[in-house]
Each structure stands twice: as structure tokens, then as C-alpha cells.
């Protein structure tokens, strides 16, 4: 349909006005609750004034309980979220707060362009000494993304100019030249930031630097070995044991499996895809495809969660997807969304946008409470009273339930959620000169500038709770273009009508293509059959053997104790159980639920002890009414057990 | 049957000559392979010369990769194993090696009686400064147990006298006096050692000191807070977060649940039981009973493994028994054996000895390879290719199988195995003045001194592979006594014949009692019906819902990939499957196996990806022949998957 030399165009968030429905409500909550709640936390933890704290003992950054070297990234992600939000809706008071923060950032910049609150104030002699662990380029990347978003929304150049000066500083210091450092950041992110800065300024040096960082990563001799030796550290005593952790064990183009810290991995891959888009680098695209296949076919939770292991916050090996101990960091699913969209725009195929949708509705949105001000860092797929080994190393005999928190010592996830929800419009659509791809369905008004004129689409739907989508095309005069509507992977039957006439659209790479001359007011009706599906895992996923998950449309459901009682492991979904998808208007503002027939299988009596011969037991199968709610909404009511994968019979 | 004021007598290991069969072979391997292999490791790691290394930079103890502050305990446990082994069978060469080691220990003792290779040589100014973490009393306890065993076996007093001097030093330093330290060890063990030293010497101060340590533990103000403050440390920054870790969060008599580090817990409880036995302390016995009930009814693996969590090497909360991530340290099951036997001797009931047998055959013996020189530290109940988060923090995409090791940085388990197997005879029987309790069945010759004369029992059996046990009573002249034969909890039907005549014995607290005047040559035939049992877990154990374990006699079985193929999670045991217990003479010297009908349930085809709607799948149920082997023998052949809990249908 297109090739990498002509990547599709993304739209700005404000070209998609999301009107109510699932995402409209989420965007409103993001605006009114999440962004202010995060600002409050940034303020009370002194992040908003970080460049101007004096660095003495009174400086909270000296207490490692509450400081990390990447404070600036938290500020950056919040400013980026504010940028997108202002692009969607003016908010003078929010803009004033952001301008204040931006002024402190600008004032904190050193004359040579260097910018980092920790290394400017707390350890000024330690700049650039540990790229592996200390996140200066990671911070820079997030501030660049913020600068791009804020400039785009407000036209104000202060933050953009500040980051341009910092980017120039970085570009002078790092690169292939003899007098430059051949380094790159332990935590990928600056690659994404530099591409955005390139897009905002047109300065190709930034794109080249991003590509340099990707290409230099993992080369021999390894830069992290070199700088460790320079610091007087033993490179073999890297705390994370292996450079797999930061995807620097080999050059990226030689990597075949998603590995290490999941957020680092997905940021790197997303950055590589962006660079491939801008440079037409076919081999980099191939690398991304190989990693995409590995990750999505062997290492992705059904929720779009990534990274099963707490130990490395990341990947382990294929088909290793434990549920209760799943790490599945919110940020990793967000990074997957970035990557998916970038992949689609250079390799248009619903394999990417299906995953994007899966992650958005499930693994991303589980990261924030329905009310909008509490957050998950890890997103397990089953939950029981538990002992957090980090908080209660002693394993004391008191367990509690996993709940969302207002903030974290490392609060990367909350502002990441804020920016992805504020920028949601950009994930709705992509376009070439003559084709509009529609990825996400939600009540909305979309404006696309094609080569031959602007197209507006009015989208009416109750998606994701129902599968009917109505589109009205607004054009100034009749014009030909192709409308490509995603037929989601979960949908096995769909129908399409144009102006009331059934149309048998050609489905290419997951998109139903309608190629016609469109007139103003043309009406498209897409009907996606949305039954309750019982989903099985690949037979190599040992954790889910004998279990199914319930899915309806793009939504993965779960059982919670509050609806279904405790000991959910004893609840069975019979093979022939009738399961009904419907909307429960009384639940959390009105959401889809699945109700149906289940059974609770337990011994009628238990003689005592932990183990009994089955020959002495009489099992009873008690029919029960099940109620499953969207996974992303768990832990919004009374604490209790939760399960996504349910025993079947 | 008896009360705490008249505890039963244990026998010395050498009063039970184990002749072949399961335990005979294990004892032979222990003698010929395990004890020499451990000596080799002690030697090459310099532990045998620890007191005479000079403490400079060349001292391996400066490298914390290979040294810990409790080296002496490793030596102590090995010497204790040697003592029991020499008590069973003379071995002049082994005795010479032990005498050499003992000479270095004695020579390392300071003039004031202090004894610890680390704090004598490496950090001489740090003695007794951190009882919470530094294990000096723990080391002392293991050396006391060694001294007792070696003196008992050889009559040589060198080690005993050395430890008496050290015990006197400890007794002077610690206690309730105004000028004494009100401390106790972070790792219980010295309580067990002091009771043995009391039994060896008759010196009641040692018993009193053991009781003092138990009673002082967890009192307010907490000693660990006090000593931390004395060191200038912040007591609230205890690395293990809570004194639950070392059972010092409350006085023992107020503790109701087994908590914290499992080995520490079970050593403490076993020590408390020994003290209760020697002092008649009924409240301490009650405490032990409460903890026993909690531990065995809520926190014990079916293998007798204890402590699910790696994080604290210990307990979490009731019914939390994950299989694949089970820690279940070998030492913890060994400690459970000690505790069980001590509990029985003051509260004779098969509830203790049933657990003792369960732990011995399963969770203890899984700790050592069949060949005898490789060891498990953790004993998971399911195994897959895995990434060790400690070794591969990066979560690299290469997984391997869990296998036994020749040694560990902290090698507590190997010599613990050696000592328990060498001392196995002591667990076979207990006796009062007029009653002989027989706990364990194995081909053996047992000699018991009753008040009225010595009784010898010749035991002939193929137990644990078959349930028939023949006992021949040898007495010099007819004498009355009660013979109490354990009817194991796994046995639902038994028959008993005395001199060919069926006898309906009274079963009291799990023991079939035969009260008669015995003549020389009297013959008892006990027949324990030993079918294959399908065992279910308590319905609160979420990990085992829908699963069963296979047990026959005292043996818990498992499936291994080498016999049954991979993806064992897809193997089903149908409800009505015929399962046959038999001996496989070709397997690892001849062991019981369970064979029978199983099924492999898998989708006939898989269209790709990780998740598929079940409506698109066709499952095939392929009948297969299952072969289960004793859990304790897993990982002795080709590496592969293993599972104890099997899906049923």
C-alpha cells in the first residue's frame, strides 16, 4: 500500500476532537483530575523548583528515598501532557502554571546549553560520567518531547529554544567524530525526543544524532565498559549483570528478541521506527519487524502488558507470562502504543494497530484509576492478598491487596499516562496523500488534510461497548480518496454500508478499503459483530493451560471478588456457558460487563489440614452468576481478588 | 500416653542399624559420596584452615563473593555428620581428617574461650557487635552440635572441651544479669546446640542459657534496636525491614503464626521444643503446638517444604504456596524434621511423625542428587526453563533448567543434608520405660534399652515402595512392653498380625498399640495398604485449584519431561484414569514409579500469535502413558520440565 520512503502522516491530537464516549470521558478525567493531580505531586516533591534548590543538606535530593537523577523526565512528561491538552482545549490557568515551570527550566540552563537539575545543582562535577545509569539523555529526550508538544500547542518558543540549545550541546559532545564521545544513554528515550525536535525545527542534525545513538548502541568495544573503566569502576560488576538489560549487548540490527527492561526496549524500538520513517532505512525497519514479531507473538500479555519480571522490570523468555507476578509496567504498554503507531505509519498493517488498541484499552488504562488520580506501576493479571517483597522483605504474615497509588518514588507512569491520553487523537488515524486510515472508533470529529482537500469525518458510535460505527463524510466538493477502516483482529464478521447500500469492501492488511469519489454527507455504516469471546493462550503458555480469558470487542475482562466472591481460582466457566455482553449503566459511569453462567467447584467438606486424598472428598459444583468487568477498571471498588484467566471445564 | 514431664527418649543413630533399602542406600551414598564431597569443598574454599588464614588482602575472606561470616557453621555441620557416621561405621581415615580439622579449631580458640574464625582473624574488633546479622551464636550452636556428636561417637573430648569453654564464655557474656548483654542471635540455632551440650555434659547452665535466649527474644525494648543504635546504625533501616524476619518481632510465647525466614523459624521452634522437653515448660509446649498447627495446616508444601518466598527465604501468609517459584529451602525441611521429632517426644502423636516422614522422603531428599554430590538449595514443585533473577538480573532471553549444584556461596544445605542422613537412625524410634514407638519403616536392626531390659527389633520391608513390614522381636527372656507402630496418615487400611494371628490393635494418636508379654522370636506383620492416591489441596490454595498430586505411601511423585514430553501443563489426569504403583528396577537403582493413563490436551492447529478465540480452535485429547517418579529424584536425568501438581479433568 505504501513503502517506507513515503511514510504515512500522523495527525495532531487537535485534529481529532473526541466527543464523549469511552475516550471522551477518559480525556476529560485526564484534564480535570490527572494533570492537576500530577502537578500537585510535582510541586510538593519540589520537582517544579528543582533547578533552583541550592543543593545543601536541606535539598530533598540528598535523601535518596525521594530523589532520583531523572526528576526532569517527570516534569517533561507533565509539560508534554499539558501541551497536548492545551492543543485540545484552551486552559489559561494551566498554561500559566506550565509557563512558570518552563521559566524555571530555562533559568536553570547553563551557559553552554547543559540542562539537568540534578547534575547542575547536586553533583555538578559528575556530568556525563555514567550514561549507563544516570539518565541525562533520557531526561533530555522527555524535555524535547515536551518542547515539541508545547510549541505546537501554544506557539511559544521558550522551551523549544531551551531544548534546541541543549540538543546542540549534546550534538557537539556525542557523535562519531574523533573528539566526540561515542556514547548513548542506558535508558533509550532521547532518540524519540530528537526525532520530534527534528520534526519541530527541521534541523537534520537532530535526526542524524538520533540515528547515531541507535547505531552506536551495543557496538564493540562497549561504551559502557569504557566509561565504567574511566570512572574507576569494574565494568564486569554492572549491577544489572548484563547489557541485555539496556539493549546494549549487541548492535540493534543484530538483535532478534525483545530483551531486558521493557520500557527501555520499547522506547528504543519506537525510536528506531521513527528514524526508519524519516530516513527510509529499510534494514532498521526489518529489525523492528523481527522484534515486533518476537514481542507480540511470544512475550506480550493479553492486555498488551510487557515484561513479566520484577527483577529487571522486563522480559524473560518466550511464553513466560505469569499472571499474579506480572510486572507489565504501565509505561511499557504506553511505549508499545508509540511503537505500534510508528510501525503502522511505515508498514501499514492492522497487526500494529490491533496491538495498539489492545494495549490502550487494557494494559495502559489499567494504569490509572477511574477517578483519575491514582496509578498502577505494575499491572498484574491476577491479584490476591499479597506480601510485597520490596516493602515487606520479612514476609510478615499479613497480606494486603494490590491497589493504585497517588505517586511513586520513581513516578514515571503517572505523567506517561497523562501524555498518552491527552494525545490520544493522534492514534485515531493516519493518512497518505489519498488514503485515510481509521484505527480507533469513538464518537469524534476528525479533520484530515489530503492532497486534494480537507476531509472531515463525523464518527458516531458506542464503541467499545457496541460494534456499530457511523461515519459522515464532510467535503467541500466531491473528491476521490480511499477510506480504510480497521477491521479489528477480534472481529470475525463485519458488514459495511455506504449511503445505505451494502458494500463488499476489499480488506487489505486488516483494513476495509472504500475507494470512491466522496460527496458531502456521504454516510458509511460499519458494523463489527462483537460477541463475547473465550480466548485461549498459545499451548506453550503454561500459566494459562486450562484457562480462558473473556474478551468482547477490544476489551479484556476480569472477575473481581466484589462481584463474584473470593477464591476465584475455584470458579469455573463451563464450556457451554451462556455469556452475555451488555452495558451496566450503574457501574463506574456505565461500562460493558459480561454476565453469565459459572460454577464454583469446591469440596463439600474439608477434614482439615492442607492435603486430602481425593478419594475422601466429595466435590460440589454450585452454579453461580458471574460478572466480569473490564480489566482496566479493576481495583476501583472494594479491595479483593482479581483474575483475568479463568478455569474452564 | 505421656506428658511433658516425662519426655520420651530418643535413640542414638547407632542403635538403629539401617540395612539396605531406601535409607540404607541413602546412608551409604552419604558416607561414600556426600561427606567426602563436602570435605573437598570445605578444603578448597579454605574453610578447614579458616582460623589460620592471616587476614590480609590474600585472605579469601576479604572477597565477599566467597566468604560469609558463618563459615564455621559449615565446618560444624560437616563434623557433626562425621560424628554420626563414625557412630554408625568406623572409618579411621575420615576420623583422622576430622581430628585435623578439630585441632585447627581448638588452636583457633582465643584464651578467653571466644571462637569464630571470621571475627578472630578478619575483623577482630567487631566481635559481638551485631548479633542480628553476624551469626556468631549461630556458628557456636553448630559447633556445639558437632562437639556432642563427635564426642558421642569417638569419646574424644577435644572439640567438646573447646565448645564448653566457648559456651562458658557465652554464658558469662549473655544473660539476665545487670552486667550481661540481654541479647540473642538473629539466626536461631545456638538454642539447639546448648541443649545438646547440656545433654552431653549435664551442665544445666547451658540449658538455662538456651531458655534465656528463647525467652529474651522479641522482648521490648528490642535488643536489635539497642545494638544497632550502639553501632551508630539507624535501627529502623534494618535491611530485612522487620524483625518478623528473625522471629524477634514479639516474644515467642505471643507468636501464633510461623513467620519470616523459614530455617530460622524452624530452628527456633525446634530449640523451644527441646527446652520444653528438658524443663517441662508447658506454656512453651503450647506455643510450639500453636505454631505447628499454623505451619502444617496453612504453610507447608505437600513435600514438607517450607517458605514459598525467595525474598525472605521464608513464609508469606496462609495458603500461599506457589509451585514454580517455591523457595522451600532444603535446610527448612531438615529443621522441620528436627522439630517434628522433638515435638513427638514430648507430645506423642503421629501428627508430628507423619510430617517428619513427609519431609524426609520428599523435601529433604530432593536436596541431594541420587549420586550424592550435588545439591538443591531451593526445592520448587514445578520447574521450567527459567531465568534466575539473581544470576541474570537483566532477564536475558536465554533460559535454562534448574539443576543441583556442587556448592553454594552460602552452602548451608549440603552439610545439613549430610548430618540428617548420617543421623537418620535417631528418627526411627522413640521410647519410654515401657513403650517402643516405631516411626519409620526400613530394613533395619533396632536396639532399645527399656527399663526392664533391652529389646531388639529386626525389621524387614520394602518400604516405601511396598507397605508390608515384618518385625521380629529379640528379647533375652519374655518381657512385657508396648509396641506402638505408626499408622501413617496416608494409609487408610492396615492389618496387623502377631505370630500369624490377626490382631485388632488399638490405634492411639496414630499408633497401633500392641501391649503384651513378648517372647524371643515373636513376629509382627504390619500390612499398610498403599494404593496410588490423588491428593487435593485445601480449597484456599489457589495455585493448586483443578490440580492433583500423586502420592503412594509416603512418596510424592512428579512428572518429568524426560518421561512425559514437554509442555507438562497440557497433560491431564482424567478422573477415572487407572494409575499403577510399581517398582522400576532400571531407574536410579530401583525406585517406585506410578504409571497410568493420561491425556495431552492441545489445539490441533494454532493459527499463530499468542491468543486465539476458542471458537476457532479444535482441541485434541491424545491419550498418553504417564510415568511419574518420586519428587525427590527429579533432576537426576536429562534436564527438562517437572511438575508435582497435575491438571485433572
HSE on the CB side for A120, CA within 13 Å?
A: 22
Does domain A429-528 fall under CATH 2.60.40? My reply is yes
Contact list, A395 vs chain B (CB under 8 Å): 244-245, 259-260, 309, 311-312, 314-316
Contact: A541, B395; criterion CB under 8 Å = no
Cβ neighbourhood burial of B572 (10 Å; 0-12, 13-18, 19+): buried
| Separation between Cα atoms, residue A3 and residue A277, nearest integer Å | 10
B128 SS3 class: coil
Distances (CA, A) of B539 to A290, A574, B309, B423: 44, 19, 21, 37
Which residue shows C-alpha cell 578447614? Answer: B48
Backbone phi, psi, residue B528, to 5°: -100, 115
Contact A641, A561 (CB under 8 A): yes
- Nearest Cα neighbor of B150 from B169, B163, B135 is B163
Task: Return left, alpha or beta for B203; rule: phi > 0 is left, psi -120 to 50 is alpha, else beta.
Answer: beta
Residue B67 has pLDDT above 70, yes or no: no
Q: What is the pLDDT of residues A500-558, one digit of tens each?
A: 999 988 999 999 999 999 999 999 999 999 999 999 999 999 999 999 999 999 999 99
What percent of chain B clears pLDDT 70, i.e. is strictly above it?
Answer: 95
Q: What is the pLDDT of residues B144-181, one digit of tens each?
A: 999 999 999 999 999 999 999 999 999 999 999 999 99
Contact: B535, A239; criterion CB under 8 Å = no
User: Across the interface, which of B385, B395, B567 has its CB nearest the CB of A312?
Assistant: B395
> What is the pLDDT at residue B179?
96
Domain ranges within chain B, ordered by starting residue: 45-203+211-216, 429-528, 532-648
Contact: A542, B384; criterion CB under 8 Å = yes
State the distance between the two ends of chain A, measured CA to CA, in whole angstroms. Answer: 44
Contact list, A492 vs chain B (CB under 8 Å): 613, 615-616
Residue B3 has pLDDT above 80, yes or no: no
List of residues 6+ apart from B47 with CB closer than 8 A: B71, B74, B75
Q: Which helix (H) or strand (E) holds A617?
A: none
Quick one: average pLDDT of B265-285? 97
Contact B266, B274 (CB under 8 A): no
Q: What is the pLDDT of residues A571-603, one digit of tens each?
A: 999 999 999 999 999 999 999 999 999 999 999
pLDDT confidence tier of residue B401, bands split at 50, 70 and 90: confident
- Nearest Cα neighbor of A151 from A137, A170, A164 is A164
> What is the pLDDT at residue A338?
98
Strand ranges (DSSP E) for A374-461?
Answer: 382-383, 429-431, 435-438, 444-450, 453-461
| Separation between Cα atoms, residue A281 and residue A207, nearest integer Å | 12
pLDDT confidence tier of residue A250, bands split at 50, 70 and 90: very high
Contact B437, B431 (CB under 8 A): yes
Q: Which helix (H) or strand (E) holds B570?
A: none
Q: What is the pLDDT of residues B536-593, one digit of tens each?
A: 999 999 999 999 999 999 999 999 999 999 999 999 999 999 999 999 999 999 999 9
| Separation between Cα atoms, residue A102 and residue A153, nearest integer Å | 14
| Separation between Cα atoms, residue A134 and residue B473, nearest integer Å | 76
Q: What is the pLDDT of residues A45-58, one digit of tens each?
A: 888 888 777 655 55
Longest dimension (CA), chain B: 80
Mutation to test the B interface, candidates A290, A397, A564, A619, most B Cβ within 10 Å? A397
- Supply the mean pLDDT for chain A: 94
Which chain B residue has the Cα nearest residue A390?
B311
Which residue shows C-alpha cell 540534578? Answer: A118
Distances (CA, A) of A398 to A394, B318, B319: 11, 9, 12
Contact: A394, B569; criterion CB under 8 Å = no
Contact B588, B370 (CB under 8 A): yes
Residue A214 has pLDDT above 70, yes or no: yes
Residues making up chain B, counted from first to last: 649
B454 SS3 class: strand
| Separation between Cα atoms, residue B99 and residue B285, nearest integer Å | 38
pLDDT confidence tier of residue A263, bands split at 50, 70 and 90: very high
pLDDT confidence tier of residue B53, bands split at 50, 70 and 90: confident
Which chain B residue has the Cα nearest residue A535?
B613
Contact list, A320 vs chain B (CB under 8 Å): 384, 386-387, 399
Contact A143, A115 (CB under 8 A): yes
Lowest-confidence segment of B321-335, B384-398, B600-614 by average pLDDT: B384-398
Output the CA torsion sign for A295, A299, A301, A302.
positive
> What is the pLDDT at residue B450?
93
Output the CA torsion sign for B416, B418, B421, B422.
negative
List of residues 6+ apart from B124 with CB closer than 8 A: none
Quick one: average pLDDT of B390-411? 71
Q: What is the pLDDT of residues B194-243, one digit of tens each?
A: 999 999 999 999 999 999 999 999 999 999 999 999 999 999 889 888 89
Pick from B382-386, B503-507, B627-631 the range whose average pLDDT is largest: B627-631
Contact A333, A367 (CB under 8 A): yes
- Is the preceding peptide bond at A153 cis, omega within 30 degrees of 0? no
- Residue A147 Cα, gap to closest chain B Cα (Å): 33
> What is the pLDDT at residue B397?
46
Q: Residue B596 CA to chain centroid, in angstroms? A: 31
- Residue B69 Cα, gap to closest chain A Cα (Å): 21
B87 SS3 class: helix
Mutation to test the A interface, candidates B394, B538, B552, most A Cβ within 10 Å? B394
> What is the pLDDT at residue B46?
86
Residue A466 has pLDDT above 70, yes or no: yes
Q: What DSSP designation does A570 have? A: G
Quick one: average pLDDT of B92-109? 96
User: Across the interface, which of B257, B390, B396 has its CB nearest the CB of A242?
Assistant: B396
Contact list, A647 vs chain B (CB under 8 Å): 545-546
Which chain B residue has the Cα nearest residue A553?
B613
- Supply the mean pLDDT for chain B: 94
Distances (CA, A) of A2 to A6, A429, A435, A479, B434: 7, 15, 10, 21, 94
Contact: A245, B393; criterion CB under 8 Å = yes
Q: What is the pLDDT of residues A392-429, one digit of tens each?
A: 444 444 567 889 999 988 899 999 999 999 999 999 99
- Residue B218 Cα, gap to closest chain A Cα (Å): 15
List of residues 6+ apart from B28 with CB closer than 8 A: none
Kindly list the catalytic residues of B.
313, 412
| Separation between Cα atoms, residue B85 and residue B81, nearest integer Å | 6
> What is the pLDDT at residue B381?
97
Contact: A545, B570; criterion CB under 8 Å = yes
pLDDT confidence tier of residue B55, bands split at 50, 70 and 90: low
A618 SS3 class: coil
- Is the preceding peptide bond at A464 cis, omega within 30 degrees of 0? yes
List of residues 6+ apart from A178 with CB closer than 8 A: none
Contact list, B241 vs chain A (CB under 8 Å): 391-394
A185 SS3 class: coil
- Nearest Cα neighbor of B387 from A260, A324, A323, A329 is A260
> What is the pLDDT at residue B396?
46
Contact list, A608 vs chain B (CB under 8 Å): 297
> What is the pLDDT at residue A390?
45
Strand partners, A494: A528
User: Across the interface, which of A319, A608, A612 has its CB nearest the CB of B535?
Assistant: A612
Neighbours of B588 (CB within 10 A): 16
DSSP assignment of B263-326: HHHHHHHHHHHHHHHHHT-HHHHHHHHHHHHHHHHHSB-TTS-B--BTTTTB--STT---STT-
| Separation between Cα atoms, residue B137 and residue B213, nearest integer Å | 10
Neighbours of B386 (CB within 10 A): 17
Residue B250 has pLDDT above 80, yes or no: yes
Quick one: average pLDDT of A135-164? 98
**ipTM higher than 0.85?**
yes
Longest dimension (CA), chain A: 81
| Separation between Cα atoms, residue A263 and residue A282, nearest integer Å | 24
DSSP assignment of A322-371: -STT----HHHHHHHHHHHHHHHHHS--HHHHHHHHHIIIIIIGGGB-TT
| Separation between Cα atoms, residue B639 and residue B641, nearest integer Å | 7
Q: What pairing do the DSSP bridges indicate for beta strands B579-584 and B571-573?
A: unpaired
Contact: A394, B244; criterion CB under 8 Å = yes
> What is the pLDDT at residue A409?
85
Kindly list the catalytic residues of A.
313, 412
Beta carbon pairs, A and B, within 8 Å:
245
Contact list, B319 vs chain A (CB under 8 Å): 610
B625 SS3 class: strand
pLDDT confidence tier of residue B61, bands split at 50, 70 and 90: low
Q: What pairing do the DSSP bridges indicate for beta strands A479-486 and A435-438?
A: parallel
Amino acid at each position: 500500500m505504501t513503502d517506507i520512503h513515503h511514510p504515512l502522516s500522523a495527525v495532531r491530537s487537535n485534529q481529532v476532537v473526541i466527543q464523549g464516549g469511552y475516550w471522551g470521558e477518559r480525556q476529560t478525567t485526564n484534564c480535570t483530575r490527572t494533570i492537576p493531580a500530577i502537578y500537585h505531586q510535582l510541586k510538593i516533591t519540589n520537582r517544579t523548583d528543582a533547578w533552583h534548590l541550592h543543593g545543601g543538606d536541606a535539598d530533598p535530593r540528598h535523601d535518596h528515598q525521594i530523589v532520583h537523577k531523572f526528576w526532569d523526565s517527570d516534569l517533561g512528561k507533565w509539560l508534554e501532557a499539558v501541551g497536548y491538552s492545551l492543543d485540545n482545549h484552551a486552559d489559561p490557568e494551566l498554561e500559566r502554571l506550565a509557563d512558570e515551570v518552563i521559566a524555571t527550566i530555562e533559568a536553570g540552563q547553563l551557559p553552554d546549553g547543559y540542562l539537568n537539575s540534578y547534575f547542575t545543582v547536586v553533583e555538578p562535577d559528575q556530568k556525563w560520567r555514567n550514561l549507563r545509569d544516570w539518565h541525562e539523555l533520557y531526561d533530555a529526550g522527555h524535555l524535547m518531547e515536551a518542547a515539541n508538544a508545547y510549541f505546537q500547542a501554544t506557539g511559544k518558543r521558550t522551551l523549544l529554544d531551551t531544548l534546541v540549545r541543549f540538543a546542540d550541546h549534546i550534538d557537539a559532545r556525542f557523535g562519531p567524530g574523533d573528539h566526540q564521545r561515542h556514547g548513548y544513554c542506558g535508558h533509550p528515550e532521547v532518540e524519540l525526543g530528537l526525532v520530534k525536535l527534528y520534526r519541530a525545527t527541521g534541523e537534520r542534525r537532530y535526526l542524524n544524532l538520533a540515528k547515531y545513538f541507535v547505531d552506536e548502541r551495543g557496538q564493540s568495544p562497549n561504551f559502557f565498559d569504557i566509561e565504567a573503566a574511566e570512572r574507576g569502576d569494574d565494568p564486569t560488576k554492572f549491577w544489572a549483570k548484563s547489557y541485555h538489560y539496556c539493549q546494549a549487548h549487541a548492535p540493534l540490527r543484530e538483535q532478534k528478541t525483545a530483551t531486558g527492561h521493557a520500557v527501555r526496549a520499547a522506547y528504543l524500538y519506537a525510536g528506531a521506527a521513527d528514524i526508519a520513517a524519516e530516513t527510509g532505512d529499510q534494514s532498521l525497519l526489518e529489525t523492528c519487524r523481527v522484534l515486533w514479531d518476537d514481542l507480540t507473538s511470544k512475550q506480550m500479555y493479553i492486555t498488551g502488558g510487557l515484561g513479566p519480571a520484577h527483577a529487571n522490570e522486563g522480559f524473560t523468555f518466550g511464553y513466560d507470562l505469569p499472571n499474579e507476578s506480572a510486572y507489565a509496567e504501565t509505561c511499557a504498554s504506553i511505549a508499545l502504543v508509540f511503537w505500534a503507531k510508528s510501525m503502522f505509519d511505515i508498514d501499514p498493517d492492522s497487526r500494529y494497530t490491533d496491538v495498539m488498541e489492545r494495549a490502550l484499552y487494557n494494559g495502559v488504562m489499567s494504569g490509572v484509576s477511574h477517578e483519575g488520580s491514582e496509578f498502577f506501576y505494575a499491572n498484574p493479571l491476577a491479584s490476591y492478598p499479597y506480601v510485597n517483597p520490596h516493602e515487606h522483605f520479612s514476609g510478615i504474615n499479613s497480606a494486603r491487596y494490590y491497589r493504585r497509588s497517588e505517586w511513586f518514588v520513581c513516578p514515571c507512569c503517572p505523567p506517561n499516562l497523562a501524555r498518552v491520553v491527552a494525545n490520544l487523537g493522534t492514534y485515531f488515524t493516519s493518512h497518505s496523500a489519498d488514503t485515510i486510515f481509521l484505527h480507533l472508533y469513538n464518537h469524534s470529529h476528525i479533520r484530515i488534510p489530503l492532497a486534494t482537500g480537507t476531509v472531515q469525518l463525523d464518527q458516531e458510535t458506542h464503541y467499545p461497548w457496541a460494534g456499530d460505527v457511523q461515519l459522515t463524510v464532510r467535503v467541500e466538493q466531491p473528491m476521490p480518496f480511499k477510506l480504510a477502516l480497521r477491521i479489528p483482529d477480534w472481529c470475525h464478521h463485519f458488514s459495511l454500508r455506504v449511503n445505505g447500500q451494502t458494500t463488499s469492501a476489499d480488506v487489505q492488511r486488516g483494513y476495509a478499503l472504500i475507494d470512491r469519489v466522496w460527496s458531502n454527507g456521504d454516510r458509511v455504516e460499519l458494523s463489527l459483530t462483537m460477541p463475547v469471546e473465550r480466548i485461549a493462550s498459545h499451548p506453550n503458555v503454561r500459566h494459562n493451560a486450562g484457562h480462558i480469558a473473556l474478551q468482547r470487542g477490544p476489551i479484556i475482562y476480569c472477575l473481581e471478588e466484589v462481584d463474584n466472591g473470593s477464591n476465584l481460582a475455584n470458579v469455573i466457566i463451563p464450556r457451554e456457558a451462556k455469556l452475555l455482553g451488555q452495558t451496566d449503566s450503574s457501574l463506574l459511569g456505565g461500562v460493558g460487563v459480561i454476565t453469565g453462567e459459572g460454577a464454583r467447584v469446591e469440596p463439600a467438606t474439608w477434614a482439615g489440614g492442607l492435603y486430602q486424598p481425593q478419594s475422601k472428598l466429595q466435590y460440589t459444583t454450585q452454579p453461580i452468576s458471574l460478572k466480569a468487568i473490564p480489566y482496566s477498571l479493576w481495583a476501583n471498588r472494594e479491595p479483593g481478588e482479581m483474575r483475568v484467566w479463568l478455569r474452564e471445564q
